Amino acid sequence: MGDQQRLAPEEQIQSAREAFEDGQDFTIAVEEEFALLDPDTLELTNRFEELKAGAAGTDLDEHLVGELIASEIEVKTGRCANFGEAAERMAERRAQLAELADRFGVGLASTGTHPWSRWQDQRIIDTPHYRRNNELLQYVVWRNNSFGIHAHIGIRGADRAVAVCNAFRNVLPELLAVSASSPFLEDCVTGLHSVRTEIFTKLFPRCGVPDAFGGWAAYEEYVRFLYSTRSIDEHTQIWWSVRPHLAYPTVEVRICDAQPDLKEAQSLAALIYALGTRFARALDDREELPDLPHRLIEENMWRAIRYGLTDGLIDFERGEVVPARARIEALIEWVLPVAEEIGAAPYLAVPAANAAERQYERVLELGSHREVFAELVRRPRERVGG
């Protein structure tokens, strides 16, 4: 992204369009964010720079990056040709990160939020990108101590990429419901399944569910408008839950909470990948796709934030509330033909409970959300795939 980031806005927009037109269909890359913890207190600890320096010269180095705060670290699979390869890379990156953290005596966690560490105690990492965001956003960026999993799907064609983003808008609530893993924040049992979504998408500008665009020209016009009005000075300041990425010819899906469990992270990434591929195929075949207004998608977003998979989502075709799991099952059935082709099918499953549900169940059993979090922390010498 470095060279693309340094381009002038007009060059960047033109370069992005050309990259999409020449892009490769249906590649997949996954990014996972982890909390860095003091292994004794389980507090967030500002040690990213140490771990990054410790990875120098290893296979992990180029796939290990900072993400806003020094108590957070991100691992990337890199671009993969099919999901079997991506799943292997996800397991490999987690194992490499676990070994590195073990070496430095750092604990790891992968839930959407830390249950009690104060945002006031976290340090913004010292890079030009994050210094600029700190200057622009102030409290908004300080408050964002959150952890997610993102997927990049290669889509050839600029108009087609925008259309795939439009289609993804309609299923963002389903993806959030499956991934919800953040019931605790500020030492509080929040009653929500994804409090991460509240502190990220509700605070940041240009975040959450985007508008639909008629094609690349309309999207390009919007990005130009943001630059010309000095609303943004980097394209990554468009923080939507799904977006065409201007540094890579990919559609990036950003709605999901981080996943404590490797298998569930793989299953979630497989579903996102299969959906992106299925949307593109539907567009090629002129199959009609839903085009829900923002206000209706937001109704299901709130249901996913509040209840995850434990209650209903609205089926807008039927005009009624159906079990959230039924919505996920319907999506899996719809994508299954292409999922077989791209290696995602073996990983697709509706979980018996998402991570937030399991945490709520354990709170009832243990009586303490801190003890529940302690069970989820990746201690030294444990595998991160557990």
Q: What's the pLDDT tens digit per position in 14-64?
A: 999 999 999 999 999 999 999 999 999 999 999 999 999 999 999 999 999
Q: Does 106 reside within a domain?
A: no
Q: What's the pLDDT tens digit per position in 194-211?
A: 999 999 988 999 999 999
Total domains, the chain? 1
Q: Does 41 reside within a domain?
A: no
Q: What is the pLDDT of residue 130?
A: 86
Asked if the model's pLDDT at residue 156 lies above 70, the reply is yes
Average predicted confidence (pLDDT) for the chain:
94
Say which CATH number the domain at 268 has.
3.30.590.20
Q: Which candidate, 86, 57, 227, places its Cα nearest to that of 149?
A: 86
Domain limits at 124? 2-30+116-375
Q: Does 228 reside within a domain?
A: yes
Q: Does 276 reside within a domain?
A: yes
- Rounded mean pLDDT of 299-328? 96
Strand partners, 315: 320
Q: What is the pLDDT of residue 1?
A: 39
Q: What is the pLDDT of residue 8?
A: 85
Asked if the model's pLDDT at residue 72 lies above 90, the reply is yes
Q: Does 357 reside within a domain?
A: yes
- Rounded mean pLDDT of 243-247? 95
Share of the chain above pLDDT 90, in %: 88
Question: CA torsion angle for 320, 325, 331, 334 (degrees, to 10)?
Answer: -90
Q: What's the pLDDT tens digit per position in 89-144?
A: 999 999 999 999 999 999 999 999 999 999 999 999 988 888 888 888 899 999 99
Q: Does 255 reside within a domain?
A: yes
Q: What does pTM read for this prediction?
A: 0.95
What does the buried/exposed string (b/e) look like for 144-163 if buried means 16 or more CB atoms within 10 Å of the residue's CB? bbbbbbbbbbbbbbbbbbbb
Q: What is the pLDDT of residue 2?
A: 43
pLDDT confidence bin for 383, thresholds 50/70/90:
very low
Helix (H/G/I), strand (E/B), else coil: 320: strand
pLDDT confidence bin for 384, thresholds 50/70/90:
very low
pLDDT confidence bin for 6, thresholds 50/70/90:
low
Q: Does 107 reside within a domain?
A: no
Asked if the model's pLDDT at residue 4 lies above 80, the reply is no
CA distance 72 to 144: 11
Residue 288 tokens, joined: 């009609």
Asked if the model's pLDDT at residue 378 lies above 70, the reply is no
Q: Does 206 reside within a domain?
A: yes
